Amino acid sequence: MSDTPAALRVSVRALVAFSVFPPDILPVSAQLMELGRRGHLARQGESAGAAETALSWEGGEAGLPLRVTGRMDLYDPGTSPPTIEEIKLCPPDVPERPLPEHLLQAACYGFMLARRDSLGCVRLRVSYVTPEGRVKAAFDEAWPAPRLETAFFGLLRPYAAWHARLRQRALRRDAALAGLPFPYPEYRPGQREMAEQAYLAIARRRRLFAVMPTGTGKSAAVLFPALKALGQGKNRQVFCLTARGTQRASVAKEAARMRSSGLPLHFLTLAAKESLCPMEQVRCHPDFCPRAKGHYLRQPAALEEALDAGDWDTGYVLSAAERHGLCPFEFSLALCEIADLVVCDYNYAFDPQVRLSRVFDRPRGVTLLVDEAHNLPDRAREMLSGEISLRRLLEFRRAASKALGRGGVYRACTALRDAVCREGDPFGDETLAGAAAALLAALSQTHAPGAAETVRGLISFLSAANRMRETPEDYALTRDADKKTGHIRVLCLNPAPHLREASRRLAGCVYYSATLLPLSAMRETLGGEAEDACLNLPSPFPPEHLLTLQLPLNTRFGAREASLAPAAEALQALFYSKPGKYIAYLPSFAYLQALLPLLEQARPALPLLAQRPRMDETQRSDFLGAFTAGDAPVLGLCVLGGVFAEGVDLPGTALIGAAVLGVGLPQVNPERELYRGRMREAFGDGFAYAYQIPGMHRVLQAAGRLIRSDADRGVLLLMDDRYAQKRVSALMPGHLRPRRVYSGEEISSLARAFWAGRQEEAGEHG
Distance CA 714, CA 263 (A): 39
Distance CA 658, CA 351 (A): 35
Where is average pLDDT lowest: 342-356, 488-502, 611-625, 751-765? 751-765
Give 33's pLDDT tier (boundaries 50, 70, 90).
confident
Q: What's the confidence (pLDDT) of residue 4?
A: 62
Looking at the predicted structure, is the pLDDT value of residue 764 above 60?
no
613-669 per-position pLDDT tens digit: 999 989 999 999 999 999 999 999 999 999 999 888 898 999 999 999 999 999 999
The mean per-residue pLDDT over the stretch 727-744 comes to 92
Rounded (5°) CA angle 647-653-654:
40
Using CA atoms of 466, 497, 239, 367 in order, give the dihedral in degrees to the nearest 10.
-130
Q: What's the confidence (pLDDT) of residue 135?
A: 93
Q: The dihedral of CA 331, 337, 340, 341: what is its sign? A: positive
53-68 per-position pLDDT tens digit: 999 999 999 999 999 9
The mean per-residue pLDDT over the stretch 293-312 comes to 93
Q: What's the confidence (pLDDT) of residue 282?
A: 79
Contact in structure between 644 and 582 (CB atoms under 8 Å)? no
Looking at the predicted structure, is the pLDDT value of residue 762 above 70?
no
Give 761's pLDDT tier (boundaries 50, 70, 90).
low
Among 1.10.10.60, 3.40.50.300, 3.90.320.10, 3.90.1170.50, what is the CATH number of 8-161?
Answer: 3.90.320.10
Looking at the predicted structure, is the pLDDT value of residue 343 above 90?
yes
- Across the chain, mean pLDDT equals 92
Looking at the predicted structure, is the pLDDT value of residue 27 above 80?
no
Nearest to 381 by CA among 486, 497, 518: 497
Task: Tell me 474's DSSP state.
Answer: G
Q: Give the domain 543-762 fold.
A: Rossmann fold (3.40.50)
The mean per-residue pLDDT over the stretch 439-457 comes to 82
Contact in structure between 381 and 492 (CB atoms under 8 Å)? yes
Give 760's pLDDT tier (boundaries 50, 70, 90).
low
Q: How far is CA 522 from the centre of its chain?
A: 18
Give 246's pLDDT tier (boundaries 50, 70, 90).
low
Nearest to 494 by CA among 621, 237, 676: 676
Q: What's the confidence (pLDDT) of residue 765?
A: 42
Q: What's the confidence (pLDDT) of residue 310?
A: 75
Helices (H) and strands (E) in the chain, counts: 29, 24
Distance CA 373, CA 211 (A): 10
Looking at the predicted structure, is the pLDDT value of residue 342 above 70?
yes
Q: Is 7 left (phi over 0), alpha (psi -120 to 50) or beta?
A: beta
Looking at the predicted structure, is the pLDDT value of residue 29 above 80?
no
Q: What's the confidence (pLDDT) of residue 1?
A: 43
DSSP 3-state helix, strand, coil percentages of the chain (rounded to 5)? 50, 20, 35
Q: What's the confidence (pLDDT) of residue 394?
A: 95
Give domain limits for the chain.
Answer: 8-161, 190-265+340-376+507-540, 276-338, 385-494, 543-762
Q: Do domains 8-161 and 190-265+340-376+507-540 have the same CATH topology?
A: no
Strand ranges in 130-242 using DSSP code E only, listed in sequence order: 135-144, 207-211, 237-242
The set of residues, in sequence order, having a beta carbon less than 8 Å from that of 497 and lying 6+ positions away, is 471, 474, 527
Where is average pLDDT lowest: 35-49, 511-525, 533-547? 35-49
576-616 per-position pLDDT tens digit: 999 999 999 999 999 999 999 999 998 889 999 999 999 99
Contact in structure between 62 and 164 (CB atoms under 8 Å)? yes
Q: What's the confidence (pLDDT) of residue 203?
A: 96
Q: What's the confidence (pLDDT) of residue 603?
A: 84
DSSP string covering 603-636: SSPP-EEE--TT--HHHHHHHHHHHHSSS--EEE
Q: What's the confidence (pLDDT) of residue 230?
A: 97
% the chain with pLDDT above 70: 97
DSSP string covering 237-281: EEEEEESSHHHHHHHHHHHHHHHTTT----EEE---HHHH--SSS
Contact in structure between 408 and 548 (CB atoms under 8 Å)? no
Looking at the predicted structure, is the pLDDT value of residue 3 above 70?
no
DSSP string covering 108-119: HHHHHHHHHHT-
- pTM, 2 dp: 0.91
Where is average pLDDT lowest: 95-104, 418-427, 490-499? 418-427
Looking at the predicted structure, is the pLDDT value of residue 30 above 70?
no
125-180 per-position pLDDT tens digit: 999 999 999 999 999 999 999 999 999 999 999 999 999 999 999 999 999 999 99
The CATH superfamily of 190-265+340-376+507-540 is P-loop containing nucleotide triphosphate hydrolases (3.40.50.300)
Q: What is the C-alpha radius of gyration for the chain, rounded to an integer number of angstroms?
A: 30
Give 763's pLDDT tier (boundaries 50, 70, 90).
low
Q: Please count the other Cβ atoms lying within 10 Å of the Cβ belonging to residue 211.
A: 26
Distance CA 494, CA 381 (A): 7
Helix spans in 179-244 (H) = 191-203, 218-231
Looking at the predicted structure, is the pLDDT value of residue 2 above 70?
no
